[in-house]
Amino acid sequence: MTNDKAVVVFSGGQDSTTCLFWALKNFSEVETITFDYGQRHKLEIECAASIASDLGVKQTILDMSLLNQLAPNALTRHDVDITHDEGQLPNTTVDGRNLLFMSFAAIVAKQAGARHLITGVCETDFSGYPDCRDIFIKSLNVTLNLSMDYDFVIHTPLMWLNKAETWHMSDELGAFNYIQERTLTCYNGIIGDGCGECPACKLRKAGLDQYLATSIQGGA
Ligand SMILES: [Zn+2]
């Protein structure tokens, strides 16, 4: 392989941090890109920055605050509560958000001389975002290559994993404790195990409990 450089779309959460460890194992050179779109907690950016710095990887933070204009909802405005009715997309949804993020990531990657793009999107996590589906990623890969006349390869190591299997992967990568302690999933901005009350914490804990119930941690 002549180009062994990868760019990881990185938020400082469990999934993208697992992807970062996966990339560090599989590529000789790794960078990260983080999108700042007015998260409810600046802590999310700080958390991502501290992990990137800790692991010694370059981080590019792109200002995506224009998403505020596209979707004035709970994700980007602090005066709206997050709701998530069962079976429906959470009201944090910005249509096409992942399409935008991946396109910007590709531009940054090409400028950095990187061919490999890595994202933690997943079809199995019930979030239901259409632009996180495998079929979309495959379609986008072709489009990005045609748009920039460049041979990107998009990698989605978590695409078919449930949350328990993602914990298993982090364990196999030797990063289980690191990811459990250092990543931010919680809507209330609490790193690690989080507040335990918000939907993100409940989802994370359910996956962790499922993994711990079926495996001997560190035995992988
Ligand atoms: Zn929480």
Q: How far away, in angstroms, is 32 Cα from ligand 1 center?
A: 25
Length of the chain, in residues: 220
Q: Is residue 26 part of a domain?
A: yes
Q: How far away, in angstroms, is 193 Cα from ligand 1 center?
A: 8
CB-neighbour burial class of residue 5 (10 A; exposed 0-12, middle 13-18, buried 19+) = middle
Q: Is residue 220 part of a domain?
A: no
Please count the structural domains in the chain: 1
Ordered per-residue pLDDT tens for the chain, 220 residues: 446 999 999 999 999 999 999 999 999 999 999 999 876 668 899 999 999 999 999 999 999 988 878 865 544 555 555 555 544 445 556 889 999 999 999 999 999 999 999 999 998 865 678 999 999 999 999 999 999 999 999 999 999 999 999 999 999 999 999 999 999 999 899 999 999 999 999 999 999 999 999 876 554 4
DSSP-derived 3-state class of residue 154? strand
**Domain span including residue 151:** 5-214
Q: Is residue 120 part of a domain?
A: yes
Cβ count near 151 (within 10 Å): 11
**Is the separation of the CB atoms in 156 and 134 below 8 Å?**
yes
Q: Is residue 53 part of a domain?
A: yes
Q: How far away, in angstroms, is 205 Cα from ligand 1 center?
A: 10
Q: Is residue 219 part of a domain?
A: no
Q: How far away, in angstroms, is 70 Cα from ligand 1 center?
A: 26
Q: Is residue 166 part of a domain?
A: yes
Q: Which residues contact 53 (CB under 8 A, 6 or more apart)?
A: 59
- CATH number of 145's domain: 3.40.50.620
Q: How far away, in angstroms, is 199 Cα from ligand 1 center?
A: 7
